[in-house]
Structures are given as structure tokens and as C-alpha cells.
Amino acid sequence: MATMTRNKKTARTVLSMLPEEMELEVLTRLPAKSILRFSAVCRRWAALLSSDEFCSTWTKLAESTTTEMEPAAQLLFLSLPSCNAGEPTELRTGGGTQLFTLDDARRKFVAISPAPCHGLSLLHKPLSMSEPYHVLNATTRASAKLPPPPSCRGNWAALYPSTAGLGFDARAKTHKVVRLFNGSGERSGDKSPTIKCELYTLGSGPADRRWRPPSPGGVVPSTLAGPELLTATKDNLEPVFVDGFLHWLVNPTMPESMPVAVLSFSVADETFGCWVRPPPFDWDGRGTAHLTELDGRLCMVRDLRHNSAGLLEIWKYGNGGDCWSLELRIDLALAAQHVGRDDLTGPRHVRVLGKKNRVIFIATSKGKVVTYDPVCGALVTIFQLGGETSRAETRLSLSRVSLFKHSLATVY
């Protein structure tokens, strides 16, 4: 104990002799584990190392080094237990390093957000009544188990199907978990098929650490409040957070029951909005679509691999107005020569995870992750999940992979 105290004093004394700019230069080059230890040296360092300016500078420098990393090392994945029950689900880096274990996760029914939201990721176990949600920072390995929502206690209808996402309130500088669930049966004798919303604010005081409804006015639009909403979202993917909003793609199997739309939720105002489908799309059954975030913009990926087009199209929202425009077209008939034809043309489902250093990361339902470089047109397979995913192709398998991004964000 005495030796540790002397080391802290020595480190503080040596760095305090340097000019402030040089001291900051040294501290921004420390690894995440050292940052956490150095924060305990003195109050000045604790304030400096937790400041938004320092965290932003450190993150940019750490992310700039990822260009030197193996592409697979920029991924996180959920390693499922074998058919023999009893083994935990593990969250690992693409390089194989174990970060977390989830003992209460049922096989296949566990998902991770495709990319961190302001440094934090959401783990969702939709069939767990005791611990359905975890929030974590893969860089610092800090995590928090959220309490189960009161609506789920003894009510399977409120637990599955349900959909949840992690957003960031820039005004309050805090994260919020937002979930949509079937509110019918929540009260005795209540048979109304109303879709309800509840949220959990991280970093709030002990008395406020609870699930609650959104602010007054935070009601799901009536045109999308029927049971078809969860039917349309449960087989798709988690919501995408972009520019203060969580976005769900509502793509029903029976379009006459409700419109195809993008449902949006303002994390700061806690209110819903609804966008109509992009006009250039032909929703007559040709291909599927999902949402993603690229370069800080909301994008829609149109999957036309299994028809004559053989394409993946990426449409971006808001280029100079409230409209969609075609940003990128990936012709798999030409590009497949880089990865083997079955890597992207064979799987039933694909998902664009996001973008790092101009390279786009694409996960497939056969457990592979492929990168696409828009500059040179190269497609390269960088990662393969273990065994069972290659045999059981569902959209859930796309939610087992996430991008890794450096962050010092605090998990409360």
C-alpha cells in the first residue's frame, strides 16, 4: 500500500514539472486502464481525465491507431454456448479476448447493438425476466445490469416481442435505454393492443434509477400503435441512434395493415415522430431493407442480392433536405470475386454494422463479416463466427456482432 502511494506521488510530481501542453500530450497517450488509475491520483487529474475535451482528444487518438489494427480486432462478438446448457454466453473481441460473461442468456436470444452509442453498447436478452438489459463499455470493461422493467414481471407479452435501443441525451449528457413493448394485459382486464414505451436514464440519482414512461406527449403515433408494430420490428433489427434520435424501420409483412415507415424517438424531448417511406423505393416484395448509421447520418440499406439486380444499395437521409438520396451501390456480381461468391450472395440476411476509416463493415447470417472499401471496390472477408450460426440463418445472428470503438464513457 505504501509503495502504491509513493508511485502515485512520483508520477504526479514528475508530470507536474512538465508544461501543461506536454503533460496533456503524455496523458492522452495512456491506455484506458492507466487513465482509470491515474484518475485516482489527485482531484485535478480526476477532473482533467473525465472532462469532455480530454475524452474526445483521447478517443480520436486511440481510434486513429485502429488503422494499424487487424480488421477483425475492430469487432466485438457474442460467443454462444454449445448445445449443452450450462455454459455462459461470452462477449469477446474479434481477436478472441474475453470481455464479459452472461450467465442468464438463453442460446441465440441475446443481441448487442451494432455500434456503440457515445461510447456505450447495449446488450439485450429478450427472454430474461431478471436481467434483460446490460450497458457496457468494451474499452474500460465496465458494465451495469439494469433492473427489470416492472411491465415484464410475470408478463411474457411485455417481454417478447419487444424492441429496445440505447440513445444519448446531448442536453443532459446522459444515456437512455428506450424500449417498446406490448402494453395489453399490463392491467387486469386490459385487452387493448396498445404499444407502449418506457425508458431508463443512466447516471441519474438513486431515487430516479427506475424504468418510467416518457415525458407527456411521448406516445407512439396512433397509426403505428397496434400489435402490427412489434410484428414488423421483431424480425428486423434494433433501432439506430443518429443525431439525437432513435430510429426503427417498420416494414410489415402485410403493407395494407399499416404503412411502411421510419419511427423516430427524440431522446432529449422524449417524443415520437414518423417519417414516410422514401419515394424511390419499390416496396412490392423486391428485396428487404434495414437502417444503419454512416458518417453520422441515417442510412437505409436496400438488399437486392436475391433478385436479378444482385445489389446492395445504401440510401442516405437528409442530403440538403428532408429526402433520401442514393449514396452507394455495391454490385456483388462484380465484387464477389474478392471474397468468394457465397460470402455475400449466399446468406439469407446481411447487415451493415457501420463504417470505420472509410471501410464499411457488413455482417451476414452465415456468421461472416465482410469489409467493403468504396474507393477501390474491394470486398474482404475478415471474420467468421463459430459453428452454429452457419447452419441456423436468422436475423438474430446478425445481432451477435458489433463494431468496437475506443471510449472512456462512464457506465453508471
Cell digits for 98?
Answer: 474475453
Cα separation values, 398 from 121, 196, 401, Å: 15, 26, 6
Q: What is the pLDDT of residues 302-337, one digit of tens each?
A: 888 877 667 889 999 876 667 888 899 988 777 655
How far is the C-alpha of 108 from the C-alpha of 282, rounded, in Å? Answer: 32
How far is the C-alpha of 50 from the C-alpha of 409, rounded, in Å? Answer: 9
Q: Is the peptide bond before 161 cis (omega within 30 degrees of 0)?
A: yes
How far is the C-alpha of 96 from the C-alpha of 281, rounded, in Å? Answer: 40
For residue 292, give the nearest of 274, 271, 313 by alpha carbon. Answer: 313
How far is the C-alpha of 371 from the C-alpha of 380, rounded, in Å? Answer: 5
Cell digits for 327?
Answer: 449514396
**From the CB of residue 157, how many other CB atoms can be counted at a distance below 10 Å?**
17
How far is the C-alpha of 4 from the C-alpha of 81, rounded, in Å? Answer: 40
Q: What confidence category does residue 135 fall into, taking pLDDT thresholds of 50, 70 and 90?
A: very high
| Average pLDDT for the chain | 78
Here the contacts of 16-20 (C-beta below 8 Å, separation 24 or greater) are none
More confident residue, 341 or 273: 273
Total-model pTM: 0.86
The residue to which cell 482509470 is assigned: 36
Cell digits for 338?
Answer: 474478392
* Sequence-ordered list of residues with C-beta below 8 angstroms from that of 73, at least 6 positions apart, any chain: 66, 93, 94, 95, 404
Q: Phi and psi of 74, rounded to 5°?
A: -95, 15
Range picked from 38-42, 101-105, 312-316, 373-377 for highest mean pLDDT: 312-316
Question: How many Å separate Cα 309 from the centre of its chain?
Answer: 29
- Going 316 to 321 to 323 to 328, the CA torsion angle's sign is negative
> Quick one: pLDDT at residue 53?
87
Q: What is the pLDDT of residues 142-198, one digit of tens each?
A: 888 898 888 777 666 666 678 899 999 999 999 999 998 877 655 545 555 578 889
Task: Name the strand (E) or helix (H) holding 325.
Answer: strand 324-331
Cell digits for 236?
Answer: 428486423
Q: What is the pLDDT of residues 259-291, one digit of tens each?
A: 667 889 999 999 998 776 665 666 655 558 889
Q: Which amino acid is at 194?
A: T
Q: Phi and psi of 27, rounded to 5°?
A: -65, -35
**If you write DSSP's letter for every residue of 181-241 in order, what string do you get?**
EE-TTSSTT-----EEEEEEETT--GGG-SEE--STT----GGG-STHHHHHHHTS---EE
Q: What confidence category does residue 2 fall into, taking pLDDT thresholds of 50, 70 and 90?
A: very low
Q: For the CA atoms of 318, 319, 322, 328, what is the dihedral angle to 10 degrees? A: -70
Q: What is the pLDDT of residues 69-97, one digit of tens each?
A: 677 778 988 887 665 555 677 888 887 78
Q: What confidence category does residue 136 fall into, taking pLDDT thresholds of 50, 70 and 90?
A: very high
Cell digits for 190?
Answer: 386490459
**DSSP character for 374?**
T
Secondary structure (3-state) at 44: helix
Question: How many Å separate Cα 33 from the centre of its chain?
Answer: 23
How far is the C-alpha of 285 from the C-alpha of 260, rounded, in Å? Answer: 12
